[in-house]
Amino acid sequence: MGIVSPGFRGRRRPAADLPPGQHLAEDFPVLSAGPTPRVDRDRWRFTVTTETGEEHGWSWREVTGLPAESVTTDIHCVTRWSELGTTWRGVSLDTLLADVDTAADHALVHSYGGCTTNLPLEDLLDGRAWLAHRYEGEDLPPEHGGPARLLVPHPYFWKSAKWVRGIRLAVEDEPGFWETLGYHDYGDPWREQRYQGD
């Protein structure tokens, strides 16, 4: 018998590391608004469209051929669960947006399956967002947004759109799917911005 039990991950971080109203999840919960899209990697494409309509696009092979980063971060869901120290691998949005000429301040993220979410463009830059395709050392499974999802860990996790297919940049902010249903436009977990008016 070994000294360390299977599954032992060391000491859990204190609850003080959790935003107000959050609790640690036992496992990574699967939450979706509809059926899970099954996107073939040969047909998957990621496109950034500027406010002028100029498109920049990448195939799966092109995206996974770009320099990738490993990111260890906490994630917080608006439904009050949190996971601490999750590990992802993906391409920084800084890399994808490096050659995109834009005067936009806002982004509307589009997913296969039809969902959208809005973010300030500055929240996707400066090492704050990734196009993630691996989770905990494995390919990102479809139920968690694979083949690729947006990873923007500082707001609530619905802003990290699953099954991401593109971003439309805009001068004016446009609410996404959940935001039109009453969720907060920004979603800062440390300020408990769950719903409009929070």
List domains and CATH numbers for the chain.
45-191 (3.90.420.10)
Instruction: Give mean pLDDT, residues 136-155.
Output: 95
Give per-residue burial for 133-170: e unless 16+ CB within 10 Å, then b. Answer: bbbeeeebebebbbbbbbbbbbbbbbbbbbbbbbbbbb
pLDDT of residue 29: 66
Whether the per-residue pLDDT at 28 is higher than 90: the answer is: no
pTM over 0.85: yes
pLDDT of residue 157: 94
By C-alpha distance, which of 96, 109, 101, 104 is closest to 121?
104
Q: What is the pLDDT of residues 49-79, one digit of tens each?
A: 999 999 999 999 999 999 999 999 999 999 9
Q: What is the pLDDT of residues 3-22, one digit of tens each?
A: 433 443 444 445 558 999 99
